[in-house]
Amino acid sequence: MEKKKTNVLIIVLISIIVILLLCCIVLFMKNEYLDEKYEKSPSLESNEQSSSPSLNNQFITKEEAIDIALKDIGLTKNDVYDLEVELERKYNDDVYEVNFDYNYLDYEYYINAKDGHIIKSFSERD
């Protein structure tokens, strides 16, 4: 009887592991699908001439996104290093991802490319 309980327990554990693996695969495939779906976001070059957002889908410039992020923590371009900006499709919108380092911290900002509001920001130790 004890051996049957052990066998049943092993089968249940294996079943749970298989179910968890299948869930991980499904989530991974969903993320890949979403990444592929939003891969075709507008390029930075086509939006460089835009200096302010407007109703015809114009974006703020890369420089404006940088200024918004730096102003949020009271820094200038001369204060930071490893400054990078990339236009991406995240949070169901076009956003600038602004990354830079300052005082042994990595900063990351997500800024709405249309209206310039900060969607998300955080920092972490180098």
For 76-116, what is each residue's pLDDT tens digit? Answer: 999 999 999 999 998 888 999 999 999 999 999 999 999 99
C-alpha separations of 19 from 26, 27, 31 in Å: 11, 12, 19
Band of pLDDT at residue 126, cut at 50, 70 and 90: confident
Query: Is 80 exceeded by the pLDDT of residue 120?
Result: yes
Q: What is the pTM of this model?
A: 0.55
pLDDT band at residue 48 under the 50/70/90 scheme: very low
- Write down the H helix ranges in 61-105: 62-73
3-state secondary structure of 63: helix
Distance in angstroms (rounded) separating the CA atoms of residues 100 and 113: 18
